[in-house]
């Protein structure tokens, strides 16, 4: 380890890294004088593996400058350490053609059990250039398949330089080993693509024509992989299009796509292939389609739309991808796509929600040019949802065309356009101005949809608050209802909202009152001035209003004491929402609501588990006032729902916080099957403080299993000590890598005092190793155990 | 427009020691910049890298079909809304994440190798060594174009030193960004601090002082730069006025969320005076934390504050439980599933939860119009893990996604299967090319990755 930094810098580096120098710059220069190539070469044969590794890493970083160390690098290929070998390989690779003396060792490296070594050896050979070809050609003749495969791969990576190996490679298209054949085909494709001449293509083509079946198949793969092909090859490929073999059809398509082949002739093959039962063939057709001249490909768009009717979902998906590649230029088929969408709509309403539907996604993929037609169809059909569904996926680019539709005189079109704008999810920032404008529209449906959509922007819609306030106060009732809710979502703290809510609460219109209550529950304002009205509304005929009123009362907390009576009456309501909202409001009132206990008690057995949970929460809130309910709550510790079990433990602690058997009960809960229940038990044990000292060992065991759990460490700290039974666990924690856990164990062992003397050897050992932060904690713990320090905080 | 020509392209609002970066506003561009914009599309490309620990449950990750229109497997289903922008890359390998003679420690290696492609030296001392990471190569070449060369974020605090995994320094487990072979770039896990650095640039002493004042008075950054903003608004075109208003609003929204997260932590993490660090300013809700960090990336890209970002959803080997998913077990423990179907079910949930956060990021990028496309069209988001299967601890066939259009250089929406042993670093070389920061080699690269565009 010759070039290590002093160990004293460990902490400093740790601090720099851990404290997060965002946008950091390097602070340390690791080495002053870089060692010479010669000394690095010597280090490659050092007895210390770390020295050898460092040398190999340094030499590979030198790239071509490592040439003087070549002999040592070649020798290092036989090192027993994997890193030395791999890095030496990389260094030789980087030296390039001057590393030719390494060829024999590299060829040997092709025959290795380790696939990475084979891969690297091949690549290093490919960097040696034409001079290595004799060795490679010899390797291609080897009986060893790995050697043949590695040599073929090296030839492929070499590209045009490997032309002299072409003949040999072509001869191997019929190799007995399938992997070798496949590699040879790929290499010939690479060499052919890199070559300026057509030699490789012609040689492979000849094998395609004259070879046996195996050779033909490999030759076809090689041709398909080339970046360009001549007309002669295309003609031969075309003959094979009807093959039963899936891979053959794939290769034909890919080959024809890069061949001098008439696109007009290719398109029918592509269309046929888009219907192929094989996904691989369909994908090859999609690749081929992208190589076809756009004007010609467009002529087949209608046929592709027909494929969207296929019963095979794979075919529909492929057709969709194909049509989407014509983004911005598929207007001609838009009416057909609309018809298809309309037909599907009649067939299945579920389509609207099906984001993977091929037709919807196709139209979305075709792009915003579809918008005018979509909007018109939606306006004409009266079923705007289905025609708007593709727009949802178009994103911010759809805003401008929708905006253009909104200035038209046709109100039906305007309504659809604003509906579409409102459906964009997430709402793009450029949709704000047109929605703002729509807010002022004389058509109430347009304006109300715009108001509702503005609420989706949340705080980002702040610029519209003034306009919404005017509309909520003076606009038509329909628009005002949406505006008040949007306001509460955008600017919950705006003081101007509350008077508007009050105004709307006084409305005769039930829907207006529901909207006002909804807004009230969203605002940050204290609704205490509305208390009489809220209480009055608890008697409303509409359950929605009673529930909304109770929700608003919940925001008032104990100030809603006057509502206890009517809230209690609503506990018998038929609607779950009303019962739950009333319970939540009573819970928020706190101990004063204890008078409602007789009405709440039966709800512990309510048929709705949500109501049961809320009833338990109520018991927690009134605490000791509900002590008489213990026997009703205790059985709920075995309830099938973990939320109810968790709540029951919390309630039992709240009802009788001083009860002797609480700690054993909570320790038992630490073994509950549900994490949430266990977590609640942990927190409740922490709340017991030092009384829960008997739980310390079990809690620490759990912490060792779940080291990031802040509740566990928090509870242990709250208990502020450990029982003697916890000593073995705490001692075992002294071996932890996690410094936090170790520190906590040390702290607790100190708190145990002299009884923890068996921890002293390990603590003293740690003391010897520890410098700086953490040392004082160790010293203190040792002193406490040795009786020299009484502890304290 | 003569008066505005004095503004640089990376203009900022200033006030009381703060400077707030601005998005690209054509009204503020100098004549030469406007001319350049007219001649070329001139929209910058961005790249971000997101790391997830402990590998994935591979059968639920890898699509059965290759090519276009692949069916989304369970884990990737949250990406349905943006699937056309997502490519699955299978078969790529980080050989330098393998033991290669160093024994246990796959988790630490999986993070340190993730963006470097370099074998970390097995040490828990100061002599750490890995290699420069792809983001930092990009930052060194392109960093001068933006206010910050790069942005390093995370959602889990990590130790900078000490032994975190079988003799590997915690620096390896906690960082994916390396400025040099010996210098990991610490990540910011506190959204509040990341926010302050991003949007209240200036001298550190000024930032610290103003931050203290602002927190004490509960005031917004925007209050401090209000006068400057007012003056500037008069110099902007109508479009740019709207753009700036939207930007300032989004800054405020994030600021509000960051502030809220800080307050909730103050309430739930009392300091007990015991000697170990208690995180501050980090949301107690993990999903909200992740989304806030994603928002930082979006805002940084949107404002061209930086074009390069890294984000660790969690540290390597993280054993965090996911109670929000009803998964009380630690993630790392679960990853050693030993074929247990119940553990598989839980890992799937965690993997999908992470992907849902990625989907959030992609949707956000996609909601921001830029040029004739969206911010996502001009970005590349590389998401994945340095381990394939957490139980097997293998570093081949890594779970990797490449999202976004890369400014038209990537044909996305495909599943591409590469030959085994192909280095992940080849992908990074191609990404650097697309960014306009080409380099001959990095890590264990052997060349460019073929097939990203058809």
Find the mean pLDDT for residues A774-793: 80
At A278, list the tokens: 């094989």
Q: Which residues of B touch A773 (CB under 8 A)?
A: 275
CA dihedral B36, B38, B39, B44 (to 10 degrees): 60
User: B77, B150, B177, B186: which to substitute to probe chain A, counting the most A Cβ within 10 Å?
Assistant: B186
Q: What is the mean pLDDT of chain B?
A: 81
Among all residues of chain A, which has the CA nearest to that of B255? A459
Q: Which residues of B touch A112 (CB under 8 A)?
A: none
Question: A562-566, A619-623, B196-200, B256-260: which has the minimum mean pLDDT?
Answer: B256-260
Min Cα–Cα distance to chain A from B48, Å: 14
Min Cα–Cα distance to chain B from A755, Å: 22
pLDDT tens, A107-144?
999 998 889 999 999 999 999 999 999 999 999 999 99
Q: If pLDDT is split at 50, 70 and 90, which confidence band does B229 have?
A: low
Find the mean pLDDT for residues B261-281: 32
Q: What is the mean pLDDT of chain A?
A: 89
Relative orientation angle of helices B238-268 and B191-199, to the nearest 10 degrees:
150
Q: If pLDDT is split at 50, 70 and 90, which confidence band does B293 have?
A: very high
Cβ-nearest to A83 among B101, B170, B187: B101
Q: Which residues of A touch B327 (CB under 8 A)?
A: 675
Hey, which residues does A193 pair with through a beta bridge? Answer: none
Query: Can you tell me the distance from the alpha carbon of A656 to that of A793, in angstroms, rounded to the nearest whole number?
Result: 30
Chain-chain contact of A740 with B245 (C-beta, under 8 angstroms): no
Q: Which residues of A touch B275 (CB under 8 A)?
A: 743, 747, 773-774, 776-777
pLDDT tens, B398-445?
999 999 999 999 999 999 999 999 999 999 999 999 999 999 999 999
CA dihedral A482, A488, A490, A492 (to 10 degrees): 170
Q: Which residues of A touch B127 (CB under 8 A)?
A: 1, 3-5
* Kind and range of the H or E run holding A481: helix A477-490
The dihedral built from the CA positions of residue A152, A157, A161 and A166, taken in this order, carries a sign that is positive
- Output the CA–CA distances (angstroms, integers) from residue A125 to A94, A96, A121, A153, A171, in the order listed: 11, 9, 6, 9, 21
Give, in degrees to the nearest 5, the angle at Cα B366 between B361 and B372: 150
Chain-chain contact of A17 with B160 (C-beta, under 8 angstroms): yes
Among all residues of chain A, which has the CA nearest to that of B120? A83
Per-residue pLDDT, B277: 24
Question: A84-93, A329-338, A651-660: which has the minimum mean pLDDT?
Answer: A329-338
CB-count exposure of residue B191 (10 Å: 0-12, 13-18, 19+): buried
Query: Can you tell me the distance from the alpha carbon of A634 to that of A313, in angstroms, rounded to the nearest whole number?
Result: 55
Give, in degrees to the nearest 5, the angle at Cα B55 between B54 and B59: 140
Relative orientation angle of helices A399-406 and A411-423, to the nearest 10 degrees:
150
CB-count exposure of residue A342 (10 Å: 0-12, 13-18, 19+): middle
DSSP state of B11: -
Beta carbons of A652 and A630 less than 8 angstroms apart: yes
pLDDT at A12 over 50: no
Per-residue pLDDT, B354: 97
- Residue A74: which residues within 8 A CB-CB, separation 6 or more? A88, A92, A101, A102, A105
Min Cα–Cα distance to chain B from A378, Å: 22
Backbone angles phi and psi of B178, in degrees to 5? -130, 120
For residue A18, how many C-alpha atoms fall within 13 Å in the half-sphere facing its CB?
16
DSSP state of A304: H
Per-residue pLDDT, B242: 64
pLDDT at A351 over 50: no
Find the mean pLDDT for residues B386-403: 94
Question: A354-363, A783-792, B262-271: which has the minimum mean pLDDT?
Answer: B262-271
- Residue A54: which residues within 8 A CB-CB, separation 6 or more? A2, A3, A43
At B392, list the tokens: 């097997």
Number of helical H runs and strand E runs in chain A: 48, 0
CA dihedral B146, B149, B153, B159 (to 10 degrees): -160
pLDDT at A791 over 60: no
CB-count exposure of residue B54 (10 Å: 0-12, 13-18, 19+): buried
Chain-chain contact of B253 with A459 (C-beta, under 8 angstroms): yes
pLDDT at B265 over 60: no
The 10 Å Cβ neighbour count of residue A225 is 20
Beta carbons of B361 and B294 less than 8 angstroms apart: yes
pLDDT tens, A20-53?
434 443 333 344 578 999 999 999 999 999 999 9
Chain-chain contact of A708 with B66 (C-beta, under 8 angstroms): no
User: A3, A11, A24: which to substitute to probe chain B, counting the most B Cβ within 10 Å?
Assistant: A24
Among all residues of chain B, which has the CA nearest to that of A741? B276
Find the mean pLDDT for residues A758-771: 90
Q: Which residues of A touch B441 (CB under 8 A)?
A: 94
Among all residues of chain A, which has the CA nearest to that of B175? A17
Find the mean pLDDT for residues A695-705: 90
pLDDT tens, A641-668?
888 998 999 999 999 998 889 999 999 9
Give, in degrees to the nearest 5, the angle at Cα B313 between B311 and B317: 120
The 10 Å Cβ neighbour count of residue B244 is 20
* Prediction pTM value: 0.74
CB-count exposure of residue B185 (10 Å: 0-12, 13-18, 19+): buried
Which residue carries 């490909």 as its tokens?
A297
Find the mean pLDDT for residues A428-439: 89
Per-residue pLDDT, A24: 40
Q: Which residues of A touch B273 (CB under 8 A)?
A: 793
Query: Can you tell me the distance from the alpha carbon of A216 to that of A363, in angstroms, rounded to the nearest whole number?
Result: 42
pLDDT tens, B26-53?
565 544 444 444 334 579 999 999 999 9
Per-residue pLDDT, A128: 97
pLDDT tens, B305-361?
899 999 999 999 998 888 888 888 889 988 888 888 888 889 999 999 999 999 999
Closest alpha carbon to B255 in A780, A462, A552: A462
Find the mean pLDDT for residues B219-224: 60
- Residue A563: which residues within 8 A CB-CB, separation 6 or more? A531, A534, A535, A538, A553, A585, A589
């Amino acid at each position: 380890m010759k070039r290590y930094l002093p160990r004293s810098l460990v902490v400093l580096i740790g601090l720099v890294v851990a404290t997060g120098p965002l946008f950091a710059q390097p602070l340390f220069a690791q080495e002053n004088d870089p060692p010479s190539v010669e000394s690095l070469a010597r280090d490659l044969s050092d007895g210390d593996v770390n020295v050898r590794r460092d040398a190999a890493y340094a030499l590979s970083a030198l790239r071509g400058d490592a040439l003087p160390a070549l002999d040592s690098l070649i020798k290092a290929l036989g090192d027993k350490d994997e890193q030395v070998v791999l890095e030496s390989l990389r260094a030789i690779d980087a030296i390039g053609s001057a590393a030719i003396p390494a060829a024999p060792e590299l060829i040997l490296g092709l025959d290795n059990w380790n696939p990475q070594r084979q891969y690297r050896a091949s690549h290093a050979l490919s960097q040696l250039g034409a001079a290595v070809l004799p060795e490679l050609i010899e390797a291609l003749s080897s009986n060893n398949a790995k050697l043949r495969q590695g040599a073929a791969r090296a030839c492929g990576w070499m590209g045009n330089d490997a032309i002299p190996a072409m003949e040999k490679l072509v001869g191997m298209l019929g190799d007995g080993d399938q992997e070798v054949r496949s590699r040879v085909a790929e290499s010939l494709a690479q060499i052919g693509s890199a070559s300026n001449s057509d030699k490789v293509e012609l040689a492979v083509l000849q094998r395609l024509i004259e070879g046996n079946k195996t050779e033909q198949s490999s030759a076809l793969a090689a041709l398909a992989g080339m970046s360009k092909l001549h007309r002669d090859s295309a003609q031969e490929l075309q003959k094979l299009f009807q093959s039963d073999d899936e891979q053959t059809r794939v290769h034909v398509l890919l080959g024809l796509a890069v061949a001098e082949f008439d696109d007009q002739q290719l398109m029918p093959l592509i269309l046929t292939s888009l219907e192929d039962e094989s996904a691989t063939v369909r994908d090859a057709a999609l690749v081929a389609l992208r190589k076809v001249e756009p004007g010609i490909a467009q002529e087949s768009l209608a046929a592709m739309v027909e494929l969207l009717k296929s019963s095979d979902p794979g075919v529909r998906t492929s057709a969709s991808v194909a049509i989407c590649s014509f983004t911005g230029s598929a207007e001609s088929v838009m009416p057909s796509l609309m018809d298809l969408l309309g037909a599907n709509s009649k067939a299945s309403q579920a389509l609207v929600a099906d984001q993977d539907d091929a037709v919807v996604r196709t139209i979305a993929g075709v792009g915003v040019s579809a918008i005018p037609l979509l909007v018109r169809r939606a306006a004409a059909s009266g079923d705007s949802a289905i025609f708007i569904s593709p727009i949802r996926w178009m994103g911010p680019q759809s805003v401008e065309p929708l905006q253009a539709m909104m200035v038209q005189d046709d109100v039906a079109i305007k309504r659809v356009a604003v509906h579409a704008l409102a459906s964009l999810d997430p709402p793009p920032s450029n949709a704000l101005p047109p929605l703002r404008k729509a807010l002022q529209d004389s058509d109430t449906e347009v304006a109300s949809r715009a108001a509702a959509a503005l609420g989706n922007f949340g705080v980002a819609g702040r610029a519209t608050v003034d306009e919404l306030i005017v509309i909520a106060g003076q606009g038509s009732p329909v628009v005002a209802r949406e505006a008040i809710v949007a306001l509460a979502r955008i600017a919950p703290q705006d003081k101007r909202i509350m008077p508007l809510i009050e105004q709307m609460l006084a409305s005769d219109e039930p829907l207006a009152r529901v909207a006002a209550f909804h807004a009230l529950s969203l605002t940050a304002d204290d609704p205490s001035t509305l208390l009489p009205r809220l209480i009055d509304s608890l008697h409303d005929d509409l359950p929605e209003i009673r529930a909304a009123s109770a929700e608003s009362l919940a925001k008032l907390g104990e100030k809603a004491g006057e509502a206890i009576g009517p809230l209690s009456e609503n506990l018998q309501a038929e609607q779950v929402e009303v019962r739950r909202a009333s319970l939540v409001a009573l819970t928020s009132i706190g101990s004063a609501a204890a008078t409602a206990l007789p009405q709440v008690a039966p709800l512990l057995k309510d048929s709705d588990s949500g109501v049961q949970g809320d009833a338990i929460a109520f018991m927690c809130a009134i605490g000791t006032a509900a002590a008489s309910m213990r026997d009703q709550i205790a059985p709920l510790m075995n309830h099938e729902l973990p939320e109810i079990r968790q709540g029951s433990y919390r309630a039992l602690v709240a009802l009788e916080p001083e009860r002797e058997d609480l700690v054993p009960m909570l320790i038992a809960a630490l073994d509950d099957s549900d994490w949430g229940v266990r977590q609640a038990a942990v927190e409740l044990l922490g709340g017991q403080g030092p009384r829960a000292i008997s739980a310390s060992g079990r809690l620490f065991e759990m912490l060792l299993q779940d080291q990031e759990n802040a509740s566990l460490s928090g509870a242990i700290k709250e208990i502020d000590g450990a029982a003697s039974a916890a000593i073995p666990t705490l001692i075992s924690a002294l071996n932890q890598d996690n410094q936090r856990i170790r520190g906590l164990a040390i702290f607790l062992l100190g708190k145990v005092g002299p009884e923890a003397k068996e921890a002293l050897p390990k603590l003293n050992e740690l003391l010897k190793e520890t410098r700086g932060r953490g040392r004082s904690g160790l010293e203190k713990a040792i002193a406490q155990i040795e009786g020299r320090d009484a502890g304290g905080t | 427009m003569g008066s505005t020509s004095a503004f640089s392209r990376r203009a900022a609002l200033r006030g009381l020691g703060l400077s707030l970066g601005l998005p690209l506003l054509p009204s503020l561009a100098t004549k030469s910049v406007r001319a350049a914009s007219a001649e070329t599309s001139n929209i910058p490309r961005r790249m971000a890298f997101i790391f997830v620990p402990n590998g994935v449950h591979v059968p639920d990750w890898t699509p059965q079909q290759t090519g276009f229109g692949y069916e989304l497997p369970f884990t990737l289903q949250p990406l349905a809304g943006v699937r056309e922008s997502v490519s699955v890359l299978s078969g790529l390998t980080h050989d330098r994440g393998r033991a290669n003679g160093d024994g246990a420690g796959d988790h630490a290696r999986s993070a340190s190798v993730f963006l470097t492609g370099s074998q970390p030296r097995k040490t828990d001392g100061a002599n750490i060594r890995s290699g420069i990471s792809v983001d930092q190569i990009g930052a060194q070449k392109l960093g001068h174009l933006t206010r910050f060369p790069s942005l390093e974020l995370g959602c889990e605090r990590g130790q900078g030193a000490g032994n975190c995994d079988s003799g590997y320094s915690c620096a390896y487990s906690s960082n994916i960004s390396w400025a040099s072979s010996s210098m990991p770039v610490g990540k910011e896990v506190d959204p509040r601090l990341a926010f302050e650095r991003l949007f209240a640039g200036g001298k550190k002493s000024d930032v610290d002082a103003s931050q203290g004042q602002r927190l004490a008075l509960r005031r917004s950054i925007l209050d401090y730069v209000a006068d400057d903003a007012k003056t500037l608004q008069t110099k902007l075109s109508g479009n740019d006025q709207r753009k700036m208003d939207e930007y300032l609003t989004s800054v405020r929204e994030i600021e509000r969320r960051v502030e809220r997260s800080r307050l909730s932590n103050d309430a739930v993490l009392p300091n007990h005076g015991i000697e170990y660090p208690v995180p501050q300013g980090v949301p107690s809700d993990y999903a909200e934390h992740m989304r806030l960090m994603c928002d930082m990336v979006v805002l940084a890209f949107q404002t061209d504050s930086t074009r390069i970002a890294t984000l660790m959803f969690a540290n390597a080997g993280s054993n965090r439980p996911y109670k929000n998913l009803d998964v009380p077990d630690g993630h790392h423990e679960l990853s050693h599933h030993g074929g247990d179907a119940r553990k598989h079910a839980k890992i799937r949930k965690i993997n999908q939860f992470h992907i849902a956060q990625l989907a959030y990021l992609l949707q956000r990028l996609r909601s921001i119009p830029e040029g004739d496309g969206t911010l996502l069209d001009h970005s590349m988001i590389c998401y994945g893990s340095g381990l394939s299967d957490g139980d097997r601890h293998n570093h081949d066939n890594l779970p990797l996604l490449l999202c976004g259009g890369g400014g038209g250089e990537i044909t996305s929406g495909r599943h591409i299967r590469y030959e085994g042993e192909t280095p992940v670093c080849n992908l990074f070389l191609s990404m650097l090319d697309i960014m306009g920061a080409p380099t001959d080699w990095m890590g264990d690269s052997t060349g460019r990755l073929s097939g990203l565009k058809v």
